Amino acid sequence: MSECLVAMSVDRESSATATFARERIAFFAVALTTCGILLASAAFAQSDIEVGVLLPLSGPMAAEGRRQLNGLEVMREVINERGGIAGRKLGWVVGDAADPTAAINEASRLIAQQGVRLIIGTYSSSLCVPASDVAARRGIIYWEVSCVDPRFTKRGYSNVYRTEINAAGFGWYTTEFIRTTLASRLGKDPRSLRIAFVSEDSAYGQGSTEAAASRAKAIGFKVVSVDYYNRNAITDFAPIILKLKASKPDVVHAQAYTNDAILFWKQARQLDLNVGALVSAGATGFGSPDFGRNLGRFAEGPFVLDEPGGINMKTLSSEAAAMEELVARRYAARYGGEMIGGAAQLGAAGLWILSEVLRRTDGDLDPDRFRQAVMSLDIPVGGMLNGWGVKFGADGQNANDRVQHYMLQWQDGKLVTVWPEKFAVAPLKRVPLPPWRD
């Protein structure tokens, strides 16, 4: 600060000649830069493990991107309250990855200008692949907490990790739920069950739909149709819904982002599409809080594979159960009573696992030491937030069978865990879905 004051007092006394004016500008610039550096270094001193956070905070995915950031924030607060990592606080710089191009640019900025050595992100499958390409090429650790594109961990990068299940896991869980539980409730033999797939056409929708469709065929379900659409251009689901009315599936497997999920279900009602059940996977679309909030009582019934909407606490370790309760309470208090949902839970759980890794490296972000610590983690199901366990494969993917997932159902305006039975907090309801016009 003293430089600033000196600069100003010198300036007041200086004459107004052109040369002086130039000198004055130069002097100010130097003084301001010095002040800036001092302030910046003060900020660094407060949070000395600095990581980058990359999420869509504007654009069409902003709603869920922000929820994921909220989940990360709550978990960071908890970590820092408990003494941080090896006595150092965890801090971050945030980049807005509204679309794949912005994801690449922001990843480059975080690395080159902010000097981060680890990036957490990125909510969407369309963003995680390009952003992590940038990081991997520069030898920066990429810690993915949300996207499900199976290609993410299949590119031979050694510094790319994902805590969340991949799309193949999504497909496994949704079809397993239908095979073991839903089919019998619908009074169908799995081999005669008719299933139709409807999905938005990004990497997220296609990846999870292809995985589910291929396992559905392997089980013996009758796949009656697979329809894709562009979620940004969809203004009318009549063509798809009319086809479904003609093909009469027992179950519709739908993957959507949120605007299209709302429109699809609204039009399903208007056009009187009656199916036994709707099953979806993921924290967005049918799993977004916006779906229930906007459709009210008409949102009742669809199933969503997601993080738990309430969990049988007896299935968790005592530490995980306490954390589950704390994070949900903090989240609701901090974000105006909103229930913690999938996107936020993924952020919080992913960051908790990261903090476990960093504890083992004493906060060191050296890629080799970090990898060693990641590979040494071995936590059984029920040991972490969301009832997850941890065991990373050599490709950087947390094993799908450790990332326990749950079938939630919209009941009384909330997503509640209904399957697997031992984790469930409520029984299945509205199976088959009652006809709309009753």
Q: Please, what is the minimum distance in Å from the beta carbon of residue 347 to other proteins?
A: 16
SS (H, E, C) 375-400: HHCCECCCCCHHHCCECECCCCEECC
Assigned token pair, 151: 């290609």
Q: Which stretch binds other proteins (CB under 8 A): 259-267, 302-310, 325-333, 396-404?
A: 259-267
Please identify, using beta-carbon distances, which residue of 269 and 430 lies nearer to other proteins. 269
Among 14, 36, 38, 58, binds other proteins (CB under 8 A): 58
Q: 95 forms bridges with which residues in the sheet? A: 54
Q: Which stretch binds other proteins (CB under 8 A): 69-77, 268-276, 307-315, 408-416?
A: 268-276
Residue ranges in 282-301 that form contacts with other proteins under rule CB under 8 A: 288, 290, 293-296, 298
Residue ranges in 353-372 that form contacts with other proteins under rule CB under 8 A: none
Q: Under the criterion CB under 8 A, does residue 54 sit at the interface with other proteins?
A: no
Among 36, 59, 393, 434, binds other proteins (CB under 8 A): 59
Q: Under the criterion CB under 8 A, does residue 208 sit at the interface with other proteins?
A: no
Q: Please, what is the minimum distance in Å from the beta carbon of residue 334 to other proteins?
A: 15
Please identify, using beta-carbon distances, which residue of 108 and 294 lies nearer to other proteins. 294
Overall residue count recorded for the chain in this entry:
438
DSSP 399: P
Helix (H, G, I), strand (E, B) or coil at 276: coil
Q: Are 193 and 222 in contact (CB under 8 A)?
A: yes
| H-state helical runs in 234-317 | 238-247, 258-270, 289-295
Among 223, 234, 373, 379, binds other proteins (CB under 8 A): 234
Q: Under the criterion CB under 8 A, does residue 239 sit at the interface with other proteins?
A: yes
Please identify, using beta-carbon distances, which residue of 179 and 243 lies nearer to other proteins. 243
CA atoms within 13 A on the CB side of 73: 16
Q: Under the criterion CB under 8 A, does residue 192 sit at the interface with other proteins?
A: no
The Cα–Cα gap between 86 and 363 comes to 6
Q: Under the criterion CB under 8 A, does residue 259 sit at the interface with other proteins?
A: yes
The Cα–Cα gap between 408 and 138 comes to 40
Residue ranges in 214-233 that form contacts with other proteins under rule CB under 8 A: 227-230, 232-233
339 phi and psi angles, rounded to 5 deg: -65, 140
The total of other beta-carbon atoms located within 10 Å of residue 395's CB is: 15
Q: Please, what is the minimum distance in Å from the beta carbon of residue 387 to other proteins?
A: 28
Q: Please, what is the minimum distance in Å from the beta carbon of residue 268 to other proteins?
A: 11
Q: Under the criterion CB under 8 A, does residue 240 sit at the interface with other proteins?
A: yes
Among 1, 242, 322, 333, binds other proteins (CB under 8 A): 242
Among 78, 136, 223, 271, binds other proteins (CB under 8 A): 271
Could you tell me how many residues of this chain bind other proteins (CB under 8 A)? 41
DSSP 264: H
Would you tell me the crossing angle of helices 2-13 and 18-46 to the nearest 10 degrees?
Answer: 170
Q: Which of 284, 303, 305 is nearest to 409 (CA)?
A: 303
Q: Which of 403, 295, 401, 327 is nearest to 70 (CA)?
A: 327
Q: Which of 74, 44, 121, 85 is nearest to 358 (CA)?
A: 85
Residue ranges in 60-119 that form contacts with other proteins under rule CB under 8 A: 60, 62-63, 65-66
Q: Which of 206, 252, 205, 261 is nearest to 63 (CA)?
A: 261
Q: Please, what is the minimum distance in Å from the beta carbon of residue 224 to other proteins?
A: 14
Q: Under the criterion CB under 8 A, does residue 337 sit at the interface with other proteins?
A: no
Would you tell me the crossing angle of helices 100-112 and 125-137 to the nearest 10 degrees?
Answer: 30
- C-alpha distance from residue 324 to each of 226, 316, 434 (Å): 37, 9, 34
Q: Give, in degrees to the nearest 5, the angle at Cα 201 between 301 and 299.
A: 15
Q: Which stretch binds other proteins (CB under 8 A): 35-43, 157-165, 186-194, 270-278?
A: 270-278
Q: Please, what is the minimum distance in Å from the beta carbon of residue 259 to other proteins?
A: 5
Q: Under the criterion CB under 8 A, does residue 16 sit at the interface with other proteins?
A: no
Among 269, 330, 359, 414, binds other proteins (CB under 8 A): 269
Residues in touch with other proteins (CB under 8 A) = 57-60, 62-63, 65-66, 201, 227-230, 232-236, 238-240, 242-243, 245-246, 258-259, 262-263, 266, 269-272, 288, 290, 293-296, 298
